[in-house]
Amino acid sequence: MCTLEKRGNLFILTFTGENQHRFNPNLIGSLLSLLSQVKAEATRGSALITQAQGKFFSNGFDLDWAQAAGSEQGAAERLHHMVDLFKPVIAALLSLPMPTIAAITGHAAAGGFVLALSHDYLIMRKDRGVLYMSEVDIALTIPDYFNALFREKIGDASVRRDFLLRGLKMKGDEAEKRGVVEAAYGGEAEVREASVRLAENLGKRKWHGEVYAEIRKGLYPQLSAILGLTHKAYTIARL
């Protein structure tokens, strides 16, 4: 499952347990609810870190749950349902009124990678864990908002092609070199420390959360449009 912890100005969202942290309707529901809580309790100087225990950050949608439908048609429907349910999670992250950091200490695949990529900053392990869009390998097309996220977050066309069309499993050092993540560190502890340091540094700027969110939406206009996020004009005199 997932838990939310408050540490000073930091909100820490953790996928608990040694499992693959796969997204099924339950986990998605919890995530949405916790993100609402974060938004409600946000103040200037807040920041969010999303992290996970164990070998996986998240391995994407719960395909076992989809297959438990009992038929190919049923599985496709359940999968489609999860793609729809997950969209508000990404929308919530895109409109969260504070800086967000994904502390990736394990594998992030498909929906799991998408969740990570929906954060402002990605910090990853150098020695363990890969970023991987498994869809091409399991014969699934990419949902429109996943495509929009990749288009607007990853500037390099070859990197986008390598993830989506080649099913590349990218390790931390390559991800850092190719600009997919902010930084890659040698171990789990370093990743967590670096994430907290970054969150605290960003928090010290005491940004106005709603303005931060509006600027973020402006950075990713296509994605925001697909997620149904509207834009507000904000003028605040800060003297």
Phi/psi at 234 (5° precision): -130, 125
Which run of H or of E encompasses 95? none
- CB of 157 or CB of 236, closer to other proteins: 157
- Which stretches of the chain bind other proteins, using CB under 8 A? 63, 66-67, 72, 75-76, 79-80, 135-144, 147, 150-151, 155-158, 160-161, 164-167
Rounded to an integer, what distance in angstroms lies between the CA atom of residue 185 and that of residue 172?
Answer: 8
Selection from 33, 24, 113, 25 nearest residue 61 by Cα: 24
- CB of 65 or CB of 207, closer to other proteins: 65
3-state SS class at 110? coil
> Could you tell me the smallest distance in angstroms from the CB atom of residue 66 to other proteins?
8
Q: For residue 121, what are its two tokens?
A: 């900053």
Rounded to an integer, what distance in angstroms lies between the CA atom of residue 232 and that of residue 211?
Answer: 9
> Could you tell me the smallest distance in angstroms from the CB atom of residue 61 to other proteins?
9
Rounded to an integer, what distance in angstroms lies between the CA atom of residue 92 and that of residue 89?
Answer: 5
- CB of 1 or CB of 76, closer to other proteins: 76
- CB of 72 or CB of 238, closer to other proteins: 72
> Could you tell me the smallest distance in angstroms from the CB atom of residue 30 to other proteins?
24
Q: For residue 68, what are its two tokens?
A: 């438990």
> Could you tell me the smallest distance in angstroms from the CB atom of residue 29 to other proteins?
21
> Could you tell me the smallest distance in angstroms from the CB atom of residue 17 to other proteins?
22
- CB of 66 or CB of 91, closer to other proteins: 66
